Amino acid sequence: MEYHTHSEGETEAVGEALARTLEPGAVIAFTGDLGAGKTAFTRGLARGLGLTGRVTSPTFTIVNEYEGGRLPLFHFDMYRLESSDELFDIGWEDYLRRGGVCAVEWSEKVSGALTGALRVDIRRGEGDSERVIIIQGSRQGDGSSLPLGQQEPSPCLPGKEA
Ligand SMILES: Nc1ncnc2c1ncn2[C@@H]1O[C@H](COP(=O)(O)OP(=O)(O)O)[C@@H](O)[C@H]1O
Ligand SMILES: [Mg+2]
């Protein structure tokens, strides 16, 4: 799907609508430069999940957690990671297994590890305020965003409950 937005609010609205379709374990892998609108889109995701906390960039914390909505939201900024090996250090698999939505800024840094993710690419269009948002891929968590070799079934992933 391709969307063209003309304000931060319109980009948030695309995220908000997408959030309503997401299932536990969903992974959103963003690509796009600084200022593209990844954090704005994530703010919309939070709203669409019924989360009321203020969404700020997790640049220094790597991950921000929001709970209390339809699903929890784990908002990652991978900018300071060198490779997907460092996903182990930040507890990525633990987050996946918590059955929330993982929204990952700078997924380029760990590309290869997020093969089952829903991909959201945001680019600048014309002028200062147009953005082209391309969404493709899987909508639900199925464990395939675990690093290779870690794809055993998890009791917390959808469809695996007793
Ligand atoms: N159509 C648009 N969608 C999203 N952000 C926009 C748009 N037009 C202008 N902006 C501005 O671009 C910036 C996007 O910032 P942010 O969401 O933090 O980007 P990123 O997380 O990708 O670095 C904000 O200052 C926002 O006001
Ligand atoms: Mg950001």
Domain boundaries, the chain: 2-137
Rounded to an integer, what distance in angstroms lies between the CA atom of residue 102 and that of residue 64?
A: 10
HSE (side-chain half, CA atoms, 13 Å) at 31: 12
Q: In what order do the strands lie in the sheet with 2-5?
A: 2-5, 131-137, 118-124, 27-31, 101-105, 73-77, 63-66
Higher pLDDT, 147 or 64: 64
How close is the Cα of 122 to the center of ligand 2, in Å?
11
How close is the Cα of 150 to the center of ligand 2, in Å?
28
Looking at residue 116, what is its pLDDT? 87
pLDDT in tens, 21-73: 999 999 999 999 999 999 999 999 999 999 998 999 998 899 999 999 999 99
Mean pLDDT, the chain, rounded, equals: 87
pLDDT in tens, 88-104: 999 999 999 999 999 99
Rounded to an integer, what distance in angstroms lies between the CA atom of residue 149 and that of residue 88?
A: 13
Using the atom order of ligand 1, give the atom closest to the CA of residue 130. 1
pLDDT band at 149 (very low <50, low <70, confident <90, very high): very low
Helices in 92-152 by DSSP H: which ranges?
92-97
Pairing relation of β-strands 101-105 and 27-31? parallel
The radius of gyration computed from the CA coordinates of the chain, to the nearest angstrom, equals: 15
CATH 3.40.50.300 fits 2-137, yes or no: yes
pLDDT band at 139 (very low <50, low <70, confident <90, very high): low
- Please indicate whether residue 146, judged by its CB atom, sits closer than 6 Å to ligand 1: no
pLDDT at 147 over 50: no
What is the phi/psi pair of residue 105, to 5°?
A: -80, 150
The reported pTM is 0.87
CA distances from 127 to 3, 74, 122, 151 (A): 16, 32, 15, 43
Looking at residue 146, what is its pLDDT? 46
Helices in 38-80 by DSSP H: which ranges?
38-48
Using the atom order of ligand 1, give the atom closest to the CA of residue 129. 8
Least distant ligand from the CA of 35: 1
pLDDT in tens, 108-134: 999 888 988 999 999 999 999 999 999
